[in-house]
Amino acid sequence: MPKGTINPPGFAPPLAPYSLAAVADGIVYVSGILPLLPDGSVGHVGDAAGQTRLVLETIKTVIEAAGGTMADVTFNHVFITDLANYAAVNEVYAEYFPGEKPARYCLQCGLVKADCLVEIASVAHVGT
């Protein structure tokens, strides 16, 4: 199966030279998704739960564009700027992964845009 990219319409353009996702052999690699609105501004400033929902909705749209669902996600890379937001992020995260949970890790770090509190990158296996 050839490699391809996924860039659904209606999302902020990437901040650097990358695609929202790449797919190869039924595996979807979703880039680190920030809580950006279509105009490129940060959504839900100061609200970790709102930002997490925005990020996961973007990931959901990208995976659906590849023919999958959130149940196909096998791994998430979660980045948060403050561990004080860990519980809020996890509360929303659990809504998107109600059954078997994907493997993941979570790191506290700085993000590309100062108002962003969370970023998530995902791997999904679709059509398997």
Q: Which one of 71, 106, 123, 126 is the catalytic residue?
A: 106
116 assigned to active site: no
Cβ distance 91 to 51 under 8 Å?
no
Please list the residues that pair with 106 across neighbouring strands.
78
63 contacts 69 by C-beta, under 8 angstroms: yes
Q: Give the 3-state secondary structure of residue 35.
A: coil
Annotated catalytic residues are: 106
